[in-house]
Structure 1
């Protein structure tokens, strides 16, 4: 299995093409706006793969990203109630996410090979086999990234507090919904408040070296490398909070504070928190991805940054 993953530059374009074709079919057959947008993104991705133009593939990725708007809300509903609001729509959106991620990998490979670099690590070296990867030493995020994270985390705290109060007031409604959300509600705990606090922890953790190497206080894993996907997947999901917050700002400008669907302080706190935390997640995820980028461990040690 590990060898298959090491060979991902050889098969990711085929997987991306298959999923892109799937979202085109589902989008045209579904009759929803998000599905049509996804179909356009899938078609762009397919065209880029056929033409071997990475920028066209990236264009398809961007369009597909817009078609997955609301995924985080669907995941929270699935976690809290054990089911999404609409299973077919959720599965179609999940297919667009898989297509988008596979197209990201294909775009990287196409672009790297176009400039004569290794499709797997992006560095120039002669050895093209499935060799092991060498990961950089654990480092702290730059000062600017840390301050962006601190600001985003601080903006999220009022939302967490407001949702605690909201959960206590409406705990009976949460219990009626059932699922994990109801279990937490019995103890007066709101699921989204817990997720907000976990998001703040993740934001700060990704700026520290122990987000790359397990610290001493983690039993059985201390000193081992943290898989890159483990913090990056929830961080990029957290980055999707940014559009929610910006949409809320536009909603306020058009309809005013009194038109917010959530009562009291929760609505404004959510707009501020989603905007700040979403932007902070995008910054720290991009920085973490750059700082932890591995390179192929070639036999001659000739790996150098691609020009």
Structure 2
């Protein structure tokens, strides 16, 4: 009975000792390898800086033409083209152009990284049920963990700045890319794969010329979700120094600047809707193309 009464204190002491051990191990790792990790991510930092300079330094008429061309290529809809141009014009009119370009730069960079990392992992998952069984729980944790938690380890390892924010954004936005790549490849018609085997296609040829093209609409849905999650995380990542539309929102919250927060919040919503419509339209066109191809 005495042991039972002392059990809560014993459990508390053990938990405190475990936390202390983990914290000390993380601090030791950070002090030993933090500088090396910063050097490892230096090319990524330079690429992000370069992309920001390109978008911020490009004259606004060229940006508008590029946005209109991208919207038309994706959707073939004048409504989406006009909406894209009007959204960017309003962003510039209300003095948020530079912050918007920085936000778009972060989204594009994090999306490209998510595709580069998520596509191979998704392909690997589609090839092996064992790999899928291992990775799925990790993805579940990544998608259910509060977004603020992602900031803790990267800040402790790399400090405050662009690269820690980018890493946090990529980790948060990565799961949809992996899941939908795996799903798209697994949904490819087995008869088509048998036909590819009959023509003597190698595994690499079958992947590049058959599986990925047929899975592309589903993969594009993953890209769409990745973009949306990256945009959501970019605002939160402003807490650790990521420049863009998120920083004025945080400033508005801390100083009760209602109009500043409202305008920047509406700009975030506008960019989110714009990117969502363009990526969805592109995926729909790919889906339509795939259906025509099967006919």
Shorter-chain TM-score range: 0.3 to 0.5
More helix by share: 2
TM-score, reference length from structure 1: 0.32
